[in-house]
Chain A
Amino acid sequence: MKFKSLLLAGSALLSATAASAGGYQVTLAGIKNNGMGGVGVGLSLDQAAMFYNPGALAMVRERGVQVGANFTFARNSFVAEGSNQQRELRNSVVTPVSLFAGFGPQEGKFRAGIAVYTPFGSKLQYADGWEGRTALTDIDLKSVFVQPTVSYAITDQLSIGAGLVVLAHGSVNLQRDIPLPDSYGHIELDGKAETKLGFNAGIFFKPSEKLSVGINYRSKIDAHVKDGDVTFSGIDSPVFAPRFPSGTKFSATLPLIATTSIGFGIMPTENLTIGIDASLANWSAYRTLRFDFTQDINGSKVSESKREYQDALTFRVGGQYKLTSGLTLRAGGSYDESPVKDGFVTPETPDNDRLGGTIGASYNFGKFGVDLSAQYVGIKKRTQTQQDLLTNGTTDRIAGTYKTNIVIPGIGLNYTF
């Protein structure tokens, strides 16, 4: 959820009236979790607990390190209102990577670790000449979060943990076409986010061998881009060129909203683990996306676009079964409410409620292990009409029907100390 939140937020950032990338990011931290519908708040599976619930890290028996990569194939189709022409993305693959390393004494109550992950790193390139070109043509978001984490087991049943979330690297590249009376110009916004801090904290309680429960809270981070570059091209007419001055800089702030989650782990047998998570993302903090420019662009220093997102819930369920001492199989699913209201859908986040299904497997040989996962996320078909846009004062975006499917194969390697 957090990942998705960040992703969405990221896309929003990009989406001035221009746009951002989609809710294409899904929860992509631990490859094991990925195979189980993305559950993890109430579990203590491995080092990736640092992301899902730092409180559970102290209960992860093994110390170890793991790296993972997710190959995100997003396939989007769009038909503008009244049209019959399907527009598809100039497709690209985005590959978020992650690293989790946990340390601590074998029998001690402390665990420490460091997590590096890319919560949003989306890339959307709309078809040349598509109907929404004046809202967005391209968006490319990259981010790297680094999270030093400590966790302490107060008793054998109860542990707590917290991580300092550092937005270590964030970059945004947003492009759209500018409608001139007899042609199109093009604007590109390119900037880096300032380093910002937040936190990720949790409590983990395991009253019996068969049950565990966790609570996790991730704080809001206001990602801020300052002195980003604004580049214009294709504005040849001497009449219009002065209205789009070169050397303009932009700044923008995007709330990477807070998320609260609760999760349960159920272990009916030694080999079977089932997780159930519910999350609430405080999307209502995202009201508008505003860009401030250092010079007038077409007569204004400000570009503002309504978002008016709503808080949204996510439910996840998944399980794993240890088939042999080496092989573990996983499956799961998720249902993710869209924070975007009707009439507010933008090309950078062609969002709707999502239904996801996942499978996964791990194979261990000695201290090494390989994790594989595959996720299929279907974002429900969504139609917004021009009348919806007029009613909400959101005609800076486009009316039509979006449908997106995402396939994300992932692979992880882990080594246990």
Chain B
Amino acid sequence: MTTTLFRKTAPMLALLGLGLSACQPDLEKDFEPSSGTADFTTYVAVGNSLTSGFSDGGLYLEGQQNSFPSILAQQFAKAGGGEFQQPLFPDNGFNGGGYLKITGFNNGSPTIGPETANLAIVGLGADGKTPLLSRYDGTGNQNLGVPGIRVADVLTPGYGLNNPLGFNQYFERLLPASSPSTYLQYVQERVATLKPTFFTNWLGNNDVLGYASSGGTAAPLTEVGEFTTKYDQVLDALTTSGAKGLVVTIPNVSNVPLFTTVPTAGVIAQVQGTPIPPELVPVIGASLGLPAGAPLPEGTRFGLYIKTSDAKKPIREATAKDLILLPASSFINSAPVSPNLFPGGIGLVIPGASAEVAGALAAISNALPNNLVLDEAEAKNVATRTGELNAAIKASASARGLAVFDANAFFATVASNGIVANGVNNTAGFVSGNLFSLDGVHPTPRGYAIIANEMIKVINSTYGAKVPTVNPNDYRGVKFP
């Protein structure tokens, strides 16, 4: 009986076995990577700190390993890409030039301090202030990102030469010792040696950022004409043997935490809403020359004051359109330093006062230093110039048939909506948003991964390629102690 049963059911059991083995669905063939009309065999990356993997106010090994070019190269490898060498810091100096980290918490707010161990600093430059970093002695460097470099700098001889007038230590460590080479010459040498088939070029940020991050006090905005000429020279060097590539626009600084974390309107409201303590009234009255015991003029209140580059009005009350830089957060409301009566940023306002009185009030205020505020006029200058430079970048790319990742548009979207990746929400918020590192400008590894993914989408659509993206959640946001 059992044998009968077995004989009769055997075909069915065999069918079952077949069914089981054929059961696992195969989706991979639907998502086969390919390079389309691009060729990822040899990739070089040109750019500034963002290309080098700079993060948390410094360049260090972990940042380099998670640089967007490193992530791109890893994904290109799935579509025909080859090796990608970076000028990594050595294991015994893996913290590179040092960086910022969260050292603890004070009332729930993170305290941020420098990492000082395991640095790759080997001495001091001839200018007596620039640290020298351990030299990269490889010959195959493909990540040409140099933190701090502007397009305006690419033709400057000695930009990476240890000399008394100052130099860029990140470029210095990439060059042979004592090389007066310009950045453009370095790019040309790399192109001649490596013969790249694909490149990314994300230069230009520092041509506005130096101005913006100093509150308009240092490093002028690069002129459009100069920018265009030098930018084109870099692109020509890269495309000289027919390489295809991706260029990237400059995000407007008003979308990064360095300029958005301190809410100007909120601070103003808080300052203005603080009543004047009675014990201060006689002191203020005296400084205004009022008779002893007289009340302060009707409507007298506190106000938030800033210093500006406007010669006609070097100190004025802040408006919501002024961008207060992140480091100002420790200055605002800090204890008054004698002889100043007021805490950091604070002064008095008397509505309807004469210009003379208003000027005197401004003069005695403890106004925010000019370099901590990108005032309305300066912010407008930055936005205008960013727009002009981005137009130049797009035109140059278009003339050469290159892909363009509009990082400006992307970061504007992120600033207003955040970005969700694989179920995890990320925002442009400082510390909590996952995307920006502790310097408020440079991305975290998560941020770089998301940028790499956006670049891949543009490369895929421009060149008909199918380069897979990464899971950004495999990359960390801000590191906590």
Contacts and interface: CB of A to CB of B under 8 A. Distances in A.
Given A181-B478, A372-B12, A131 B473 contact: yes
Interface string A356-370: 000101010100001
A397 interface: yes
Interface in A354-408: 359, 361, 363, 365, 370, 372, 374, 376, 381, 386, 389-390, 395-399, 401, 403-407
Interface in B35-68: none
Given A75-B24, A401-B27, 19 more contacts: A77-B24, A80-B471, A82-B457, A83-B468, A84-B31, A85-B28, A85-B468, A180-B480, A181-B432, A181-B434, A181-B479, A182-B477, A237-B480, A237-B481, A359-B12, A361-B12, A395-B420, A398-B423, A409-B16
A135 B476 contact: no
Nearest to A239: B480
Contacts of B481: 237, 239
B20 interface: yes
A154 to B, nearest CB: 40
B25 A77 contact: yes
A376 B8 contact: no
Residues of B in contact with A, size category: 35 or more
B323 to A, nearest CB: 25
Contact of A76 (B12, B25, B434): B25
A407 B5 CA distance: 22
B337 interface: no
A81 B460 CA distance: 14
Interface in B18-34: 19-20, 23-28, 30-33
Interface of B: 1, 4-5, 8-9, 12, 15-16, 19-20, 23-28, 30-33, 78, 105, 420, 422-425, 432, 434, 453, 456-457, 466, 468-471, 473-474, 476-481
A316 B99 CA distance: 66
A80 B8 CA distance: 44
B423 A82 contact: no
A79 B33 CA distance: 13
Contacts of A102: none
A404 B434 CA distance: 34
Contact of A397 (B4, B27, B423): B423
Given A361-B9, A407-B19, A409-B16, A83 B424 contact: no
A84 B28 CA distance: 6
A66 to B, nearest CB: 17
Given A182-B480, A365-B1, A82 B453 contact: yes
B476 A405 contact: no
A134 interface: yes
B208 to A, nearest CB: 29
A387 to B, nearest CB: 11
A46 B480 CA distance: 64
B5 A370 contact: yes
A129 B457 CA distance: 23
A179 B424 contact: yes
A77 B476 contact: no
Contact of A182 (B4, B456, B476): B476
A294 B353 CA distance: 57
A93 to B, nearest CB: 10
A417 interface: no
A239 B105 contact: yes
A83 B469 contact: yes
